[in-house]
Amino acid sequence: MSKRLTQKVDSEVMIRINRRLILQLIRQKHSISRADLVKLTGLAAPTVSRIVDRLVNDEQLVRYGRMGDSSGGRPPVILEFNSKGRHVLGIDLGATLIRGVLADLDAEIEMEVQLPTHTHEGYEAVVDMVVLVVERLLSKRGLDPKTVIGLGIGVAGLLDKAKQTVKFSSGFEWSEKQLKADLEARIKIPLFLENSTRLMALGEKAFGKGHELRNFVVANVGYGIAAGIVVEGQLVHGGGGYAGEFGHMTVDPASEVICLCGRKGCLEALASGRSIGLAARQNAEAARSISTECHVKVDRIDAKIVFEAFQKGNPFAEQICLNAIKWLSMGVANLIHLLDPTHVFIGGGLSLSGEYFWKPLNNEIRKRVLLPNREVEILPAEFKEYATVVGSLAMVLDAILGLEIG
């Protein structure tokens, strides 16, 4: 590389670093003058002015606010982060439901669209539904796509390290799907793809209870089971980008229950929302009693209905739920012993089942962990059913704006 080209690259890198620093300060301080930016950054006043002018006029990420106080002479113009001037989209691509949101640059959700995933119709149908969610989010507000800085999508499954390909997803029954490229061919907005559970952890780190924590785990217990792991303040991706798939650890080698991955004895096959609903439907006596008590058809019985029957005192539902909770407690205890987190946040559909889920789960985990690990706090994930979309918003804000909000 020539000296001149090296200098150019170094200069461009410094411009990006300085821009990020200034933008972070404006956002964190809410309102600040150019003079204070110069003092806090140590940058030359002309450098600060050039970057601020670009953020105001070209990127529209900063706006001029009120006039500041003056100690003599011309009062300073106060700069403010323009969170309402641009937008970001977030999507939680689930096996049964697609939840999409439109938010401002403070990740405040302004509107939401939910549509069925149509997984049973195949991969192309799912892509169509994602595109439709984006179109509806934009059309309902009459937004120009150019005002949207990015789209973050969370999907359950194993993504390659470059976040281009869904290598495998048991919930969707996908393998080697070029999801990012297929969506980018139809959606002309900068697009970022990530594992949905890892996004739950990112959202918790950026905006939730994990904001001040260094070591924690978010366990996603819904249709499937997975974990988002934060160690020393950093999201763990693993060597290939597949870290956190503890739903596929073997917890019962003697089990004959087949997981969607094709193996037997997986935690996900024994403790997920899918497995709870399936266990009830496959037991004719349980299915009939639950159907009668909860006023649903047998083929509509899912984990939510089974927990509802458990709360009503149905003994078959109680047995199914407590058995799943026993296996789940083993998986969570293993995570605690392996990673030594200070907190475990549990989200996903099962976590919304109230005390009939939380009380036995906490009791089982406490019985299974070593004495020092009993200090680990086990709490509900902050954003409940919105955990993945909040994380997707954080991902875009970090990737596009470099705000490092986590």
* pTM of the predicted model as reported, rounded to 2 decimal places: 0.86
pLDDT 10s digits, 144-172: 878 899 999 999 989 987 778 999 998 89
Q: Taking Cα atoms as reference points, which of 372, 325, 335 lies closest to residue 229? A: 335
The CATH number given to 87-202+388-401 is: 3.30.420.40
User: How is residue 180 written in tokens?
Assistant: 């990012």
Block means of pLDDT (10 residues each) for the chain, length 406 residues? Answer: 52 84 86 91 91 88 77 75 89 93 92 93 95 92 83 93 86 92 94 95 94 95 94 92 93 92 94 95 90 93 95 95 97 96 95 95 95 92 94 92 63
Give me the CATH topology for the region 3-81: Arc Repressor Mutant, subunit A (1.10.10)
Pairing relation of β-strands 158-159 and 97-103?
unpaired
- Output DSSP code: residue 43: -
Q: Domain 210-381 is of which CATH architecture?
A: 2-Layer Sandwich (3.30)
pLDDT 10s digits, 65-106: 877 666 655 777 899 988 887 899 999 999 889 999 999 998
Polymer length of the chain: 406
Q: Taking Cα atoms as reference points, which of 154, 62, 60 lies closest to residue 101? A: 154
Identical fold between 87-202+388-401 and 210-381: yes
CA angle 16, 10, 237 (to 5 degrees): 60
Q: Which residue has the tokens 């739950």?
A: 200
Residue 401: the pLDDT is 80
The residues spanned by each domain of the chain are: 3-81, 87-202+388-401, 210-381
d(CA 361, CA 349): 15
Residue 30: the pLDDT is 82
Residue 405: the pLDDT is 56
The dihedrals phi and psi of 264, each to the nearest 5 degrees, come to -110, 150
Pairing relation of β-strands 77-81 and 62-67?
antiparallel
